[in-house]
Chain A
Amino acid sequence: MVISHALGARIKRREDPRLITGRAIYVDDLNFAGMVHVAIVRSPHAHATIRSIDTTAARRAPGVVAVWTGEDVKARCGPLPVGPRIKEMKAPKRFPLVIDGVVRHVGDPVAAVVATTMDAARDASDLVEVDYEPLPSVQDPEAALEPGAPILHQDLGTNVCFRMTYGGGNVEEAFAGADVVVKTRIVQQRLIPAAMETRGVVAQYKGGELTVWTSTQIPHVVKTTLAETVRLPEHEIHVIAPEVGGGFGSKLDVYGEEGLVAALALALGRPVKWIESRRENFIATIHGRGQIDYVELAAHHDGTVAGLRVRAIADLGAYSQLLTPGVPTNTGLMCCGCYRIPNAHAEVIGVFTNRTPTDAYRGAGRPEATFLIERAMDLLAAELKMDPVEVRRKNFIPPAAFPYKTPTGAVYDSGNYERALDKALERADYRALRDEQAKLRKQGRYLGIGIATYVEITGLGAVAGLSGGNWESATVRVEPTGKVTVLTGTSPHGQGEETTFAQIVSDRLGVPVEDVVVLHGDTRAVPHGVGTFGSRTTPVGGSAVYVAAEKVKDKAVQIAAHLLEAAPADISTDGARFTVRGSPERSVEFKDVARMAYKAYKLPAGMEPGLDVTHFFVPKERVFPFGTHLCVVEVDPDTGEVTFRRYIAVDDCGNILNPLLVAGQIHGGIVQGLAQAIYEGVTYDDEGQLLTGTFAEYVVPQATDVPAFELDHTVTPSPHNPLGAKGVGEAGTIGATPAVVNAILDALAPFGVKDLQMPITPRRVWEALEGNSASR
């Protein structure tokens, strides 16, 4: 594919003018006459039986319009989706409020108070009296597997939601014949996605149509689900994702509140608004990660890996949400990383605990996979006293081996892992860094160099829990004046496809980027779509736009040829004008072709009027971005503080449509991955109370907490889509966590510290060094 002036250019975003002037409309900015507000009463217990709920006082409070409990929901609402269907999976039904009299995590919604103002609703919600009988709870997923552990869902009779295995080759034989085996136990701590905009829903039932504005990544899936949840025909439901203030997977779900607010709007006949508070967001919106991984890597003396064994225990929390089981299963699929590992076995167990449910958070199972294999490779290098770079080189899947099928079943499309690694090493001047490290160690200063070579999987979507497969829709509509309207089924929340998709159309049709508008997120305006997640926007959604634009162009050429009385094959175009080859005087403007497409009195025989194409793009296969992240830190052994010296990221996301936006995605991704390494982590007490319940305790990095990044790329186009693009939304996060942790542990190698629990806080470093003080 030719990257033109429009495609691959550093074009500033078309969505920004409304965002930098305060004119963008997020859900909380919507206000309607007669609108009422919802406050939700949530469980303060991790596990309890509800003896009774007394709503008398709340109902009498000033401004209160209605108070609903599970009984009201039972009468009006159907269930919510509980995840992609996995063989022998046991998942309980979920409803907008608890309807079976048992709360299973702090934050489980028990009742809803509706009042004329937000303050009145919140004041009255304090008056709802819920009498709980506390039950024993289980916080730790391994403890939840033990016999005699409290069972969350009595009707399932077990806390195990599913067990899946991945693998191939002969792992037992590989381990028996290996020279060395390294082992580690990794705790992937829970993370809070913490999009800056919390969730929110506004619903209005008017003129036989239910309109729901919701801060979501998947408006079409919400629409289809609502039809069942509020028992309304789907064609009477209109879902709009207005401006969405970040998601990172936390809005890739159909939440109870969406059904609840819609049902309230239907029942009350008034517009209803619910805005999640930040405290609610921390307990009621999904968490990410939450996995315990037992990893064993077997190898020969020369560093060749013989086998990999993984046992991943996933902390699902109290319920299975839209994609919950799809997250740890990604870890099983991707645990071999960039390496040719002939024998591998991964067992993935999903376990219910009395905590907020987990689901997809930026990376969704691939950060966990990358972390475990990248840590294991560093442990192997240390064991064999090899350079971590050499161990990786020795085991890379070579460029000639693609398409490459891993023993766990993933089929990697294309890659050149060594090229990305070399570029990062060259940029960092790796040899010089190692020399500096040795020199500084003699002075009692501890430099660490961490490397992570990752491969990940994007273009996800082929799961039964969603309303469709791994496809995306796009409409390219040339208006009669030659301006272009694009409709996409993706639903951005910061990614910038109003710009990148306009670039694609500009590239294909030759119209200026300014002449293209991209609409999204409105189920009445755009054809059914899947949504924005899994770094699928460009490879899947962008490809749909590309193909639709190609079809438009083909039709325009036919119309032009007819108008010019020439054969279509003889028409050349620069976008603005169609010309008969060799006769520059015989030409017609693009806008005149567009007008004729609709005036339609002079079209080729049998051609339908219009210049408007919808395409549902189905990728041949999933695609696999990769790269190398190299992090340099200095650790102060007296305080345990980690200081970033450099951070180099060489990412290969195939062809790049807009380098400015790609850099933005990588920067933001790296910070979320780096944050898992040293800042962020959910803490619960033994009773299931969230101790990191606000931004004061849960450390989302600030500007001074993170370094500047040095970015570079290699370009290995994917053969599976016409753009040759691979997606870049999650790569930064996936590469960063192991790069940072490997750097810190490399710095601490002289102290004999081999592993540290994330987040690696100064205290954890300091304690580890105290324990090893003899070696100082």
Chain B
Amino acid sequence: MKRPITLTVNGTTYQHEVEPRLLLVYYLREVLGLTGTHIGCDTTSCGACTVLMNGLAVKSCTVLAAQADGADILTVEGLAQDGKLHPIQEGFWEEHGLQCGFCTPGMMLTALQILERNPNPSEEEIRHGLDGNLCRCTGYQHIVNSVKNAARKLKEERIPVIPVRKAVNTRAPVAGAGKEAD
């Protein structure tokens, strides 16, 4: 029943055998141990699990791990490089764009897609781009400010919106990992 997949997550290539029903979010969280991607609902409504797949924001609860075969995935863990925060992370920090932090990884990755498509978004365009990601704490205003802050910094510092990885390592399948039910 299991099928092999090969995919790159935050610059590292992984190979695993996975159950056909395994969702990408569970693959990231339970197989790779990347628990920064959160699960907030079971109806693809909240956006907490948003990651970038081949540069596009996807809700990883609605993508099968098998569908991600061959894909390049970016999660919150891949935003900072060499200990330096990405401007979107600095933006959220400086503008108080988070309170409980649960929606934040998904919000930041969605924000990257907004900025990738439009480096100078208006407030209205930012809000439109954030629809699909729920936040229950902030009332969104500080999140909008955070995205504006990041847009400014990305422009000033001429940083690519989506982090570019320097080296790609390949990891062999981890023993026992990827197993679902006994």
Residues of A within 8 A of B (CB): 12-13, 15-17, 19-26, 28-29, 31, 62-63, 116-117, 119-120, 194-198, 243-246, 248, 277-279, 493-496, 660-661, 663-664, 667-672, 694-696, 700, 702-704, 706, 708-709, 732
Contact = CB atoms under 8 A, between A and B. Distances in A.
Contacts of B21: 119
> Main SS of the interface on chain B?
loop
Nearest to B101: A19
B180 A694 contact: no
B43 interface: yes
Contacts of B85: 20-21
A694 B79 CA distance: 31
Contacts of A62: 181-182
B40 A703 contact: no
Contact of B38 (A245, A694, A703, A708): A245
Chain A to chain B: the 5 pairs with minimum beta-carbon distance, closest first: A22-B36, A245-B102, A19-B101, A667-B139, A494-B100
Given A664-B142, A703-B144, A21 B96 contact: no
B100 A244 contact: yes
B102 A21 contact: no
B104 interface: yes
Contacts of B130: 702-704
Contacts of A278: 40-43, 46
Nearest to A197: B102
Nearest to A21: B80
A25 B35 contact: yes
Nearest to A695: B45
A236 to B, nearest CB: 29
Given A19-B104, A116-B181, A246-B102, A660 B42 contact: no
Given A196-B135, A245-B102, A702-B131, 5 more contacts: A20-B92, A196-B38, A196-B46, A243-B100, A278-B41
Interface of B: 21, 29-30, 34-43, 45-46, 48, 75-77, 79-80, 85, 89, 92-94, 96, 98-105, 108, 123-124, 126-128, 130-144, 180-182
9 contacts: A20-B92, A20-B108, A21-B80, A25-B35, A29-B35, A197-B102, A245-B101, A667-B141, A695-B41
A628 B93 CA distance: 29
Given A21-B80, A29-B35, A667-B138, A16 B40 contact: no
A19 B42 CA distance: 23
B101 A700 contact: no
Given A21-B79, A700-B136, A246 B100 contact: yes
A494 B101 contact: yes
Q: Which of B35, B139, B181, B182 has the most chain A CB atoms closer than 10 A to its own CB?
A: B139
B127 to A, nearest CB: 4
Given A22-B76, A494-B101, A706-B140, A663 B96 contact: yes
Contacts of B133: 702-703
A709 B133 CA distance: 20
Contacts of A22: 34-37, 75-77, 105
A509 B131 CA distance: 45
Contacts of B41: 278, 694-695
Contacts of B103: 196
A72 to B, nearest CB: 23
A251 B102 CA distance: 15
Nearest to A493: B100
Contact of B93 (A20, A495, A696, A704): A20
Given A16-B98, A196-B103, A708 B141 contact: yes
Given A22-B37, A278-B41, A12 B137 contact: no
Given A119-B180, A246-B136, A696 B43 contact: yes
Nearest to A61: B181
> Main SS of the interface on chain A?
loop
Contacts of B137: 196, 246, 494, 664, 668
A21 B180 contact: no
A23 B134 CA distance: 21
Nearest to B140: A703
B131 A703 contact: yes
Q: Which of B45, B79, B130, B136 has the most chain A CB atoms closer than 10 A to its own CB?
A: B136
B21 to A, nearest CB: 8
B99 A664 contact: yes
A16 B139 contact: no
A278 B136 CA distance: 14
A387 to B, nearest CB: 29
Contacts of A13: 93, 96
Contact of A704 (B34, B102, B127): B127
Q: Which of A22, A243, A667, A702 has the most chain B CB atoms closer than 10 A to its own CB?
A: A22
Nearest to A279: B42
B134 A700 contact: yes
A20 B104 contact: yes
Contacts of A28: 29, 35, 38-39
B38 A197 contact: yes
Q: Which of B34, B42, B132, B142 has the most chain A CB atoms closer than 10 A to its own CB?
A: B42
B144 A708 contact: yes
A394 B118 CA distance: 52
Nearest to B105: A22
Contacts of B98: 16, 19-20, 494
A24 B41 CA distance: 19
B99 A496 contact: yes
Contact of A702 (B29, B77, B99, B132): B132
A345 B54 CA distance: 64
B76 A196 contact: no
B18 to A, nearest CB: 13
A196 B40 contact: yes
A169 B159 CA distance: 69
Contacts of A23: 36
A117 B101 contact: no
A21 B36 contact: yes
B99 A709 contact: no
Given A16-B92, A661-B96, A26 B181 contact: no
Nearest to B108: A20
A13 B95 CA distance: 10
Contacts of B45: 694-696
Contacts of A668: 99, 136-139
Contact of B43 (A16, A19, A29, A694): A694
B133 to A, nearest CB: 8
A4 B39 CA distance: 41
Contacts of B79: 20-21
Contact of A197 (B35, B100, B140): B100
Contacts of A25: 35
A702 B134 contact: yes
A706 B144 CA distance: 12
B40 A63 contact: no
A399 to B, nearest CB: 31
